[in-house]
Amino acid sequence: MSVLEAYAGIEFLYNTLTGDSTLMALVTGIYRGMAADGTVPPYVILSLQAGTDTLTANAVRLLTQPLYQVSAMGPASMSTQLAQAAARIDDLLKRTQGSVAGCRIDFCYREQPLLLDLPPTLGVMWSKIGGLYRMGIEQA
């Protein structure tokens, strides 16, 4: 998978999610990989999980299909708000397409739900609620 397609997917997710006032009223921000120490929760984390390339017989890449983890994260005591944010994320990303950074996003859909409880940090249990989203990305 080319870095171009992987980054284009993150950029598409970021632009789509930050452009929605309903989601942004539920979270304090959207971050790639992790939020900085001291970031006020809840927030959304975008992470590349895996990806595959569809190639021609002579190994020319036609399509990249990355899988991204998109989750609302915060203390478990905020689970209702995290679930609301995850539901809004799903509304924004299901059956979506577009273009960004020299790439075309042919499709986006949730492949798996996600609900993870994380080990306590300073005595506080944290949760991640969201999903794993599959995209089809072609270089434009």
- Residue 4: predicted pLDDT: 84
- Mean pLDDT for 71-83 is 97
Domain total in the chain: 1
When mean pLDDT is compared across 69-78, 86-95, 100-109, the lowest value belongs to 100-109
Is the Cβ–Cβ distance between 92 and 17 less than 8 Å? yes
Q: What is the pLDDT of residues 26-63, one digit of tens each?
A: 999 999 999 999 999 999 999 999 988 887 767 778 88
CATH assignment of the domain containing 40: 3.30.2000
Name the pLDDT band for 1 (thresholds 50, 70, 90): very low
In sequence order, the 6+-apart residues with CB closer than 8 A to the CB of 56 are: 62
Q: What is the pLDDT of residues 91-109, one digit of tens each?
A: 999 989 999 978 999 999 9
Q: Tokens representing 65? A: 């299909």
Name the pLDDT band for 139 (thresholds 50, 70, 90): confident
| Predicted TM-score of the model (pTM) | 0.91
User: In terms of residue numbers, what domain contains 117?
Assistant: 3-139
